[in-house]
Amino acid sequence: MGTTRLELYAERHNALALRLKALGHPARWSMVEHLLAQQGCVNADFVALTGLAQPTVTRHLAVLVGAGLVACDCGGGRAVYCIAPGAWRALEADLVPWVRQAAAFPTHCETDASCCTPS
């Protein structure tokens, strides 16, 4: 793939893409789900949760933190992670209207092949 030309897109689209990309791995979904259930967690818990090596867990957490979806308190020699509600509210504000619009969309390509056939 070529270079992504982020400057071509609105900042809100770039921010949304970053958050969605961060959620594009099942291990990260598992980590987010765990954080929601625990309301905070230390890094070592994720190794047991995912079965992944510590460096892999650290990288996944860094992606979630980098996207702003998870916050980290790295003081005292132990990294403690938690959900960052502001980013999730922004994700909800961006996605919910589109999900509702797409769910109510009148054309269903699986039953109306003409919608997908070039003229």
| CATH number of the domain where residue 85 is located | 1.10.10.10
Whether 113 is covered by a domain: the verdict is no
14 Cβ neighbours under 8 A, 6+ residues apart: 6
49 lies in a domain? yes
HSE, side-chain direction, 13 A CA sphere, residue 43 = 20
**What is the model's pTM?**
0.80
Q: How many domains would you assign to the chain?
A: 1
Residues 19, 87 contacting (CB under 8 angstroms): yes
CB atoms within 10 A of CB 59: 12
80: in domain: yes
pLDDT for the residue numbered 118: 59
Kindly report, residue by residue over 66-117, the tens digit of the pLDDT: 999 999 988 777 888 999 999 999 999 999 999 999 888 877 666 656 666 6
- Checking if the pLDDT of 119 tops 70, the result is no
Question: Please, are residues 79 and 95 in contact by the beta-carbon 8 Å criterion?
Answer: no
Contact present, 40 and 81 (Cβ < 8 Å): yes
Assigned token pair, 76: 């005292």
- Whether 1 maps to a domain, the answer reads no
- What pLDDT is attached to residue 111? 62
Percent of the chain with pLDDT strictly greater than 70: 87
Range of the domain at 90: 6-95
